């Protein structure tokens, strides 16, 4: 799906923050070389302060490079005209708080060459899409963080952009919203748009990104397709259904693997993600209004702690993503469907 047309390119892009007197404060980005192709979702990863936002701001012309070039649509990032084809959702979506959702989109629409009729239609369409129809007459000051994030996204899409740049699009969204956002991003790609996003939620990135770049301390550490990066050729995973785990099975499998020179690292029932559980429960609750948690029906409080704090993929779970309401971070559920 990703074509070969380069939409965004950086060449030795370097950014050094300086103070008023020109003294060096921080090297935020060091000689970054990147290419983003049309029609892909490109993820920028890295710990806090690694230069993700800096990269994005350089691409948008919000910052001037200290050295090197940032090219968008083959034009310099300083060029204003390129913005006609770009949508940008800032890290923190600061819009004008005295405007309501409609006025906000109308205002941003006026900055583009869109005629009044189209602008109005687009405004309604986007408000509908981000699920703020009920709140469209309220001023943004009264919005919750997630609602602001939604209107921020709508604002970024007002011009039907070819390139969408999203700085932490899922921050502040509830799991439902996160899924919706992810679906939307995938949909944008399917429409042929290019998406550049950065996020700390690795599972989100893993789910939707085609390629990722991992930055640390302003330097590119890793670049490649998600599949390619995550595939661990040293290991083998096998999933089976129709059998219960017992000692005989374990011994048999051990034998087979031993013949081939391998060894079992882990064997047990698969665990779903909290996200899946959450989504399922919310869906059930919608389907059966009045449903509530009943200890009797479920027998006992489930307390299945994951032994080594790792999920199926062996990937470290980011602690901050856990919902505080959930008593156990990961719930074992034998009956869940297996993720593909």
Partner 1 sequence: MFATGFYLEREPLSLAQLAGALVDWLQNFGALAALGLVAWCIAHLVQMRGRKGRKRLNPLFIALVSIVFLLYAMVGALFLGRAMGIRVGNVMPSTDPSKLLTTGDWLLALAGSCAVLAVLLPMLGDLGTGRLRWRRIVALARLSFKEAMHRRVLLLVFAIMALLFLFASWFLTSKDEDQLRTYVWVMYFAIKVIFIMLAILLGAFGIPTDIKSLSIHTIVTKPVEKFEIVLGRFFGYCAVLTLGMAVISALSLLYIYRGINEKALEESYKARVPVYGELYFAGTKQKDKGENVGRMWAYRSYITGPHPTTPNASRQYAIWAFDAVPAEIARRDGAIPFEFSFDIFRMSKTKEDEQGEAGIYCTFTFADGRLPLTKISERIEDARKEKEALNAKARKTLADKKALEQRADEIERELAHKYGLYSISGVRVVDYHTLKVTAPADLFRKLQELESESPREATPGSTRPPSLQVLVSVDRDTAGSSSQMLGVAKRDFYLLAAERPFLVNFLKGIVGIWFTLVLILGIAVTCSTYLSGVISMLVAIFLFFPGLFVTDIEEFAKSKTEGGPLESLYRIAKGAPEAAPLDSSPATSFLKSSDVVYRWWLLRFLTVIPDFNRYDLNNYVGNGFDIPWIDQGLFTDNLVPLLGFLIPCAILAYYLMKFREIANPT
Ligand X SMILES: Nc1ncnc2c1ncn2[C@@H]1O[C@H](COP(=O)(O)OP(=O)(O)OP(=O)(O)O)[C@@H](O)[C@H]1O
* Binding interface with partner 1 (CB under 8 A): 17, 19-20, 57, 60-64, 67, 80-81, 83-84, 86, 88, 90, 92-96, 98-99, 103, 107-108, 110-113, 152, 155, 159
Q: Strand 75-76 to strand 67-72: parallel, antiparallel, or no bridges (unpaired)?
A: antiparallel
Q: What are phi and psi of 68, to 5 degrees?
A: 80, -175
Q: Nearer Cβ to partner 1, position 108 or 143? A: 108
β-strand partners of 36? 8
Q: How far is the CB of 52 from ligand X (least distance, A)?
A: 3
Q: Which stretch binds Mg ion (CB under 5 A): 87-95, 237-245, 254-262, 263-271?
A: 87-95
Binding of ligand X by 53 (CB under 6 A): yes
* Binding-residue pattern over the window 138 to 177 for ligand X, x denoting contact by CB under 6 A: ----------------------------------------
CB contact set of 311 (below 8 Å; sequence gap of 6+): 271, 273, 317, 330
Binding of ligand X by 179 (CB under 6 A): no
CA dihedral in degrees (263, 269, 272, 274; nearest 10)?
-100
**What 3-state class would DSSP assign to 117?**
helix
Q: Nearer Cβ to partner 1, position 15 or 179? A: 15
Q: Which of these, 10, 75, 13, 64, lies nearest to 36 by C-alpha position?
A: 10
**What 3-state class would DSSP assign to 37?**
strand
Binding of Mg ion by 53 (CB under 5 A): yes
Contact by Cβ (8 Å): 52, 167? yes
Contacting ligand X within 76-95 (CB under 6 A): 91
* Binding-residue pattern over the window 2 to 31 for ligand X, x denoting contact by CB under 6 A: ---------------x-------xx-x---
């Amino acid at each position: 799906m990703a074509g070969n047309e380069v939409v965004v390119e950086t060449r030795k892009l370097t950014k050094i923050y300086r103070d008023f007197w020109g003294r060096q404060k921080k090297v935020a980005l060091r000689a970054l070389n990147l290419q983003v192709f049309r029609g892909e979702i490109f993820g920028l990863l890295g710990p806090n302060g690694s230069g993700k936002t800096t990269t994005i701001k350089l691409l948008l012309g919000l910052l001037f490079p200290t050295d090197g070039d940032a090219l968008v649509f083959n034009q310099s990032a300083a060029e204003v005209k390129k913005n006609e084809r770009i949508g940008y959702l800032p890290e923190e979506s600061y819009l004008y708080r005295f405007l309501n959702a409609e006025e906000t989109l109308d205002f941003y629409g006026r900055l583009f060459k869109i005629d009044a009729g189209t602008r109005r239609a687009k405004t309604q369409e986007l408000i509908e899409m981000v699920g703020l129809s009920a709140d469209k007459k309220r001023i943004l000051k009264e919005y919750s963080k997630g609602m602001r994030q939604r209107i921020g996204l709508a604002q970024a899409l007002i011009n039907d952009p070819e390139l969408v740049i999203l700085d932490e699009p899922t921050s502040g969204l509830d799991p439902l919203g996160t899924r919706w956002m992810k679906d939307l991003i995938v949909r944008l790609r399917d429409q042929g748009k290019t998406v550049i996003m950065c996020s700390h939620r690795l599972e989100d990135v893993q789910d939707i990104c085609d390629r990722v770049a991992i930055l640390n301390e302003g330097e590119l550490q890793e670049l490649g397709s998600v599949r390619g990066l995550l595939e661990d050729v040293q290991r083998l995973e096998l999933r089976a259904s129709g059998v219960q785990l017992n000692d005989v099975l374990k011994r048999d499998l051990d034998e087979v693997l031993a013949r081939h020179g391998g060894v079992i690292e882990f064997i047990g029932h698969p665990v779903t993600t909290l996200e899946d559980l959450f989504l399922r429960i919310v869906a059930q609750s919608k389907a059966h209004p009045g449903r509530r948690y009943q200890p009797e029906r479920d027998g006992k409080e489930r307390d299945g702690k994951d032994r080594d704090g790792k999920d199926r993929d062996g990937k470290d779970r980011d602690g901050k993503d856990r919902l505080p309401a959930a008593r156990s971070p990961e719930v074992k559920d034998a009956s869940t469907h297996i993720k593909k």
